[in-house]
Structure 1
């Protein structure tokens, strides 16, 4: 077997949130052909308990502790004109040393960097073929924050959007191929960086169809006499926070005749999310050991994201569990399914309320089964990751720049 170096900005285990899910399943796919050496950061001490299970899957592992508070200070100290804060946030000499030692001790045949933040570590191996999985366009997320935040945060986010886009364009030139999670993300980046078009490819997200299956039996975690509307996601992540606030303030009041309970399931709920709990209408659980019981017994799963990059795993997981899903256009991007048949897509509060009322009234009895069938057809991990194999086959690599993104 050949040796592959995989670099990731966050420990990809357990696969219970967006970036961890894609990275974990990509590593599992790569393990079939490579001895995988993983270098990553761990920013949640609670994840340390999972290190033995992760290490057992790998040829070697470096999991560097990252304290978010100290990382923010480091980002400010390392900030220079024209450079994004992101590069300083994820700079760590310990990971630099580990990458260099690993390259010295093993015949690394390929490098995969997950997220643009890990690009500077990948280019430490200048002669090795390398792939960058950008997933989505981080700079666009920060640019959106700049447009929607109040001063002075708007200035900080707008600057990050501008400087990070320049960094992304520079990074892509130094990789043989760059992956995006959807054709829409790839095409959008090509419009922003036309020089990248020939080297970019879309490789979508999948869902673990054996794990997320309606065939499993779970105890009901809800009151027996209530219709349940469910949202899942990390609740310290700004797009998720804004999504649930929008749903509660703009939509939920229109559903009172149906007397639903809106349940928000996800780790680290921000204070503004906790403040949504009121009068038996909204319940915030915090982290749960398993989201499947909550999905299995939900009458409707919602994804009201206004800022949505890439493919939403929360939507794929709910569809795999054969639940009716109501999503915004941003949350539907990159998902191969038929709106109105396999799931519902709406943009305005009025349309959201209309669709939610219809589902709670039982007007879409076949939608859950159709949702499951859609992800079976289009979103298994084996299907979505198959194009990766050709990219990692031995052979000539595409031309790339000899400049280096700086550490």
Structure 2
């Protein structure tokens, strides 16, 4: 007998669950560029990169980024020796950029402390930046067939339905219980394949909404299915709504160039480049407040900013309303180490978050339209003078 969530489950039922799941996985698993499925030895570096990318991001989105990343940085040595901006550029558009910084730091630690080999044990993997309980378990089991659990959101959903767990799965005690249960389910033989099968079942069949129970290979063992409560599980605490904030982006022009600065190493969009952005301007008279902010922060005296456009962007915890301004430098000297003056079409080597790309596109169109209008006006004046002659 095996004790799972207070249920004394017959060993043969556990064996049937494992067998049905693995048989289904063998027939229906997705072909993914980092996945070996026992046909050949797993590449630990590929597993490492994919697991970092899969944190907070769906498989379908990750595939293209993974292929480009591996093509550019094919080994742990290549990643460790790469420049930070190159890593961030390869990650550009994937979001949650701190993952890229952690992966880069992890690669350097692997070279320095683990002789260039991705660690095999949970203890050593957990020392790497950005590696938590799930990521350590996934790498250890998938790359090295270590008998450990790997519980992501998909697995939590599958197990909570399998045993009809009605307590919130985002509570600490329930998470620990799920960990204990899953560890008992992981077989000693091919644990990495089993963990991938659990994740795949959650991704393809045991969906958050409208689960495909009719095609589930373990539905006759699923307590939620047998009790008719699949749609009510898993239970989670309500999420807090995103916090509404306003960011003011300033396109500061000096001759034919605009100022770009790098964000700090912590917080949203860490180490990415952007046009100067104020996140806490007063709502009243923002253009007047902006003049002081630009002088205080950057050391520049500028024309009163012209409001160009607004747009919105959603992150996990923030609903951001962007206000885009354009201005030109009158006097002052940019503070040392603050940023760079760049032509807007010459920023491809700088990693930027999507909202900044949007802003650059808007300013490019605005300035080209302004230049075009100025040129036409100038041509008209010249033509008029010629006619008068």
Q: TM-score range by the shorter chain?
A: under 0.3
Larger Rg: 2
TM-score by length of 1: 0.21
Which structure dedicates a bigger proportion of its chain to helix? 2
TM-score (norm 2): 0.22
